[in-house]
Amino acid sequence: MSLSHYSDDGFFAPKKIAAVLATTQEDVAQSVGLGRDAVMRRERIRADKTQRRLREMVEIINKVTPRFGSPLMAYAWYRSEPLAGFSGQTAMQLSQAGRSLEVLEYIDAVDAGVYA
């Protein structure tokens, strides 16, 4: 899905992300390891940490959406599917711990047939 579906005025918009993923803004915040205020207060939404965490989640979801057929199914995978080689942690748990780059590298490796 195009990044414009997730953004507003050049920033990732938790409200739009929640709408695309059929969930709440609070759930989006929790999914990226942020508190409720980070996605509800305008000045916190634009903070570097908030924008980085939202961007990382959107990158992961966009990367696996073709595999699952929809952003909603990709989000379900992000939240619930344990990743091989990460002690049973999900993409969400790794992202919450600041390890989104490792998730993206894992997806690239799977796509290249390394873990297949």
Q: How many CB atoms lie within 10 A of CB 90?
A: 17
Q: Residue 81: which of 71, 70, 92 has the closest Cα?
A: 92
The pTM (predicted TM-score) of the whole model is 0.91
Write the pLDDT tens digit of every residue in 18-71: 999 999 999 999 999 999 999 999 899 999 999 999 999 999 999 999 999 999
Check residue 48 and give its pLDDT: 95
- Least confident among 1-5, 86-90, 104-108: 1-5
Check residue 115 and give its pLDDT: 64
Please, is 79 exposed, middle or buried when counting C-beta atoms within 10 Å of its C-beta (0-12, 13-18, 19+)?
middle
